[in-house]
Amino acid sequence: MTATPHRSTPHRARLIATDLDGTLLCRGGTVSDRTAAALVAAERAGLRVVFVTGRPPRWMAQLSGHIGGHGVAICSNGGAVVDVHRGELLESFPLASEQALAVVRLLRERLPGTAFAFEFPGGFAREPEYDLVMWESDKDHPVASAEELITEGRVDGLFKVLAKHPALAPDLFLGLAREAAGHLAEITRSSPVSLLEISAAGVTKASTLARWCTAQGIDRSEVVAFGDMPNDLEMLAWAGDSYAVANAHPDVLAAVARHTVSNEDDGVAAVIETLF
C-alpha cells in the first residue's frame, strides 16, 4: 500500500529539518524540480529549511542553491555546523583524541577487519584498508593507520570517525559496535553498506539541531523533521512533528507515527505542500 502524508500537521511550523540522502534527495543525490519548488515556497512563506545530514561539510557545495537564505546546514550527524553558501565551518563538536583512539582499539579488537577513516576540519583521512567511494578516489588526503593519524595529530578536531567492515551485515555491525564501544561515543549508520558513523558522546543530529533552534528562538514544537535511517532517530523523536519516508529503515518506520511517500516520489515535498 502506498504511504500518504499525514495531513494533521499544525500550521505553527517555523522550521523544516530534513535529512538528505534517502530522504530529500532522489537517487544519485539530486533534488527534483518538485522538491526544489517546495523548498522555495517554504522559504517564501517564512519557514526556515535546515539540512541535517550525515554528509561531511565538503559534500554540501552542490546543494547551496536549495538551502535558503540563511545557508546553514548541520553536517556529520551533528558534528559540524556549516554555512553552505560561504563554505565556512561555523561550529564543531569534536571527538577527543583519547576517546577516538579508545573506540578504534575496541572495535579493532572485538570486530577484526574493521577499517577506519576520519572527517575533520582539514578534510578527510583514512587507513589503507578503508575502501574509497568513487567520488573520493581523486582527492589528496592522508593515508596511514588510524592509530598513527590520531596520535600524530593529523586529524585534529575530528568530528566523525567512519568504520567499515568487509563481512558483517550493516545492522549486525552496528549492534556489535555499540556493545563494544557505545559507552564511549555515539555510533550509528545511514548507509546501505556496513559503514558506521561515530561521533562524540552526546553529539547527534538532535543535539546540534536543538542547540541551533534555541539560538534562533525556535521551539521544538515548531519543527517538522524528515528522515529515513537510524542516524535520524534522535532528531525525529525530538522534533514536534516528524515523518519517515516510505523507503525508510524498518526501525525508523516503526518509531515514527507519520509516514510520507518515498524520496523518489518527493515525500518531503508532499508534506511541505500541506503546510501552506
pLDDT one-digit tens code per residue, 170-204: 999 999 999 999 999 999 999 999 999 999 999 99
**Cβ-based neighbours of 17, under 8 Å, separated by 6 or more:** 50, 52, 209, 223, 224, 225, 226, 235, 239
Q: Is residue 147 pLDDT above 80, yes or no?
A: yes
Average pLDDT over residues 141-152: 96
pLDDT band (50, 70, 90) for residue 132: confident
Supply the pLDDT for residue 12: 81
What is the share, in percent, of the chain residues with pLDDT greater than 70? 93
- For the segment 239-258, the average pLDDT, to the nearest whole number, is 98
Mean pLDDT computed over 78-90: 93
SS3 of residue 30 by DSSP? strand
For the ranges 8-17, 78-87, 192-201, the lowest mean pLDDT is seen at 8-17
pTM greater than 0.85:
yes
- Indicate the average pLDDT of the chain: 92
* Half-sphere exposure at residue 178, Cβ-oriented, CA atoms within 13 angstroms: 12
15-93+204-272 homologous superfamily:
HAD superfamily/HAD-like (3.40.50.1000)
CATH number for the domain formed by residue range(s) 97-200: 3.30.1240.10
Banded pLDDT at 93 (limits 50, 70, 90):
very high
Domain segments of the chain as ranges: 15-93+204-272, 97-200
The pLDDT value recorded for residue 136 is 53
Residue 111's pLDDT is: 98
Cβ burial of 70 (10 Å; 0-12, 13-18, 19+) is: middle
pLDDT of 4: 46
Answer whether 272's CB lies under 8 Å from 41's CB. yes
Residue 10 has pLDDT above 80, yes or no: no
Q: What is the pLDDT of residue 75?
A: 96
